[in-house]
Amino acid sequence: MLHIENLSKYYGTFRALNNVNLHINKGELFGFVGSNGAGKTTTMKICVGLLRADSGRIVIDGYEVRKNTKLLKQKVGYVPDFFGAYDNLTSIEYLNFFANAYGIYGKEADKLSEDLLALVNLSDKRNHEVDGLSRGMKQRLCLARALVHNPDLLVLDEPASGLDPKARYELKEILKSLSSMGKTIVISSHILPELAEMCSSFGIIDRGVMKMTGTLRDIQQAANFSSMPIVIVVRGDSEPAVQALRELPATKYVRPMAEGRIEVDYLGGIDDEVELLKILVNKGIPVVSYGRMEGTLENVFLQLMNGGQPQNGPAPGPVQAAPPMQAPMQAAPQPAPMQPAPMHAPMQAAPQAPAGQEVAR
Amino acid sequence: MKLPAIKDFKLNAVLFKDLRQKTKRSQLSVSVFLLNLFLSLIAIIILLSVSFSAASYSPLDNTVFTVFFIVLGFMEFGFILLTVPAVTSGAITMEREKQTFDVLLTTSLTTRQIIWGKYWASLAQVILLIISGFPVFALVFMYGGVTFFQAFGVLLTLLLLTMYISAIGLFFSAKMKKTIVATVLTYVILLVLMFGTISMLLTAGGIIEVINSIVLDNTGVDPDLKIDFLGFILYVNPLCTIYDCMAGLFNFDSFIFGSDATMAGILSDVTHFSSNNILLTLWTPISIVVQMLIAWGALERASVVIDPLRKKADKYARKRKRNKQAA
Ligand SMILES: Nc1ncnc2c1ncn2[C@@H]1O[C@H](COP(=O)(O)OP(=O)(O)OP(=O)(O)O)[C@@H](O)[C@H]1O
Ligand SMILES: [Mg+2]
């Protein structure tokens, strides 16, 4: 449905997009994720014909954007990241105007406008001035507006920003139902987890470069998880296992937990993991289960943003959210705890690093 | 260049939307009120003074009403000069400033339809204003002194000049990002069109005089150079158009000037053209045609300018190449 090939865009000498490639199938709900200034808006604007790319091409439904702008305007609906509302127009007049703009007039336009207002739950605001609607209502009205000409492809630039959780949920429901009607939807966001349960595939863009595309599973697998702890569960006393693990040079830190569960920060790839298991088994340790902890989306995203490498030490896993908070408390009564304080300090820094970079950029 | 199709000029969505918005704004009714208050005050002053002079048994002279009409006509022209740029130069920039323009561009409206819709909507607003002043003009008919043909001629010319000025304002609105910049530029260009052209001709005339006298001193022959074709630059000058229109219709020379007071009379004095030259005698219609063509061109250009996909000269391309090579 949407096919982007080697797309590049410069603003002056600044390269906002660098050979972006993307393919989105018909009916997909595609999540387009990237931090501030990554190039999401730029890509989307080029797709809807609001910006001229410097090189590369975009094909929508078999038509190249540059050559078929007029035709594609009928096929594409766009909700920009920032948009204003006309003063002195009511919601219904607003939708009517856009129906007219797409060549739909009279009764047909009236009916369509009413239906769309109902779809986005704004029927009670039909005679309210658009200018006086709340942000979330404007957002919904704008979505309704983008649907006026029944487009096959919807391009939504951060539609959820500024919405409260309830409005977000409602938006998600609307998008899901639109998707089930067979529309292809591209939706951008800063936050991967926000899109996770809704989107069927994702693209992650960073500083103008498409870092990765695929399903959630693809992305999780491709991300570098050697930084996630290995979780081992042993039967009976876990002390021998802990001892054995601590002796290994690749082991950074071992956390014995309750009921035979041990978490190990262990450097190395998949081969090293296999090696580790062999060692444990050879030592006669009764291993019940063994495996890397799965990364949360947040971790995946941050890793990709950092160029695929964790910045300082291991990235924080979900369970580690607690230890960093305990670390300072432990530090006072126990001057030399086993290892935690020095180990956790850099781990805390990791998630904040990208934010710091954004400010610097 | 592809010629515009009929549908570009048909009543379109933008026109309806803009009219709907404009009629709901208080701005419009306030300006109608102020204009007519002003015009009526002038009318009352003139009529009162006429009544007083009539009361003193002097014969009631139609000329007073003719002058009254001429003054009102010029005042209306001044009013157009002041208000039209303010209305049209915001037509596109205000959509940009309110961040509604991008969305408009993604609809299936063509850029031409957007521009013409904006144009007719702005014109409708201004013309409504102008027409609202007509009853005051009509006062004159009660006393005679102005024929229907004269009044119609003046009002039609004012209308066409409005279309000219509107197009210039809309062009800058399409070209600039900020309303304030577009408005200022429109006023500046209007000043240049009206007084810049005249100053330019005066300067050129002065230089030509100097050349004439130098050549005469050195060779003993008077080259008799004049501004000639340069004078036609005044075709773009709306002030000259309304002046020529009034001077022709009301025969200015009979009561203001000694000789032919139309543009033909004035230009035949400073050029080699005779005052019977058709390019001069038909000054008003020809200049209006010229101005309408300029208006057309400005609007065509405006619809190109707002197209986000148009090719632009990329002044950074070379610099990028250099950076790449350096890297
Ligand atoms: N009109 C412009 N002129 C110059 N640079 C621009 C312009 N628009 C965007 N950029 C730059 O291009 C880069 C990509 O911007 P873009 O708006 O596409 O990012 P984004 O992913 O949408 O970010 P955000 O999440 O903040 O909306 C940024 O570094 C930005 O500074
Ligand atoms: Mg953006």
pLDDT in tens, B267-283: 988 889 988 899 999 99
Tell me if residue A69 falls in helix, strand or coil.
Answer: helix
Task: Say how far apart CA B186 and CA B174 lie, in whole Å.
Answer: 12
What is the reported pLDDT for A360? 35
What pLDDT band is residue B56 in, cutting at 50, 70 and 90?
low
Task: Say how far apart CA A135 and CA A119 lie, in whole Å.
Answer: 17
Task: Say how far apart CA B18 and CA B15 lie, in whole Å.
Answer: 5
Which protein residue's CA is at the shortest distance from atom 12 of ligand 1?
A: A16
- Is residue A76 over pLDDT 90? yes
What pLDDT band is residue B3 in, cutting at 50, 70 and 90?
low
Angstrom distances, CA of residue B301 to CA of B112, B113, B306: 10, 13, 9
Distance from CA of A40 to the nearest CA of B (A): 16
Task: Say how far apart CA B105 and CA B117 lie, in whole Å.
Answer: 13
What is the reported pLDDT for A317? 37
> Is 0.90 exceeded by the ipTM?
no
Which protein residue's CA is at the shortest distance from atom 4 of ligand 1?
A: A11
pLDDT in tens, B178-232: 999 999 999 999 999 999 999 999 999 999 999 999 999 998 888 888 888 899 9
Bridging pattern class, strands A287-292 and A261-266: unpaired
Measured between beta carbons, the chain B residues lying within 8 angstroms of A103 are 108
- Other CB atoms within a 10 A radius of the CB of residue B194 amount to 17
CB distance A81 to ligand 1 below 6 Å: yes
Select, from the ranges A58-72, B37-51, B123-137, the one with the highest average predicted confidence (pLDDT). A58-72
**Identity of the residue in A52, A70, A83 whose CB atom sits nearest the CB atom of B103:** A83
**Identity of the residue in B14, B21, B108 whose CB atom sits nearest the CB atom of A103:** B108
Domain coordinates in residue numbering, chain B: 66-308
CB proximity B311 to A under 8 Å: yes
**15-34 in B: which are within 8 Å (CB) of A?**
16-17, 20-21, 24-25
What is the separation, in whole angstroms, between the first and last Cα of chain B? 42
What is the reported pLDDT for A217? 78
- Is residue A344 over pLDDT 80? no
What pLDDT band is residue B160 in, cutting at 50, 70 and 90?
very high
What pLDDT band is residue A341 in, cutting at 50, 70 and 90?
very low
Mean pLDDT score, A47-55: 92
Which protein residue's CA is at the shortest distance from atom 3 of ligand 1?
A: A11
pLDDT in tens, B106-154: 999 999 999 999 999 999 888 888 788 777 777 766 767 788 888 889 9
CA of A38 to the centre of ligand 2 (A): 8
Task: Say how far apart CA A250 and CA A243 lie, in whole Å.
Answer: 14
Considering chain B, what is the average pLDDT of its residues?
A: 86
The pTM (predicted TM-score) of the whole model is 0.81
What is the reported pLDDT for A116? 94
| B319 contacts A97? CB cut-off 8 A | no
pLDDT in tens, A325-338: 333 333 333 333 33
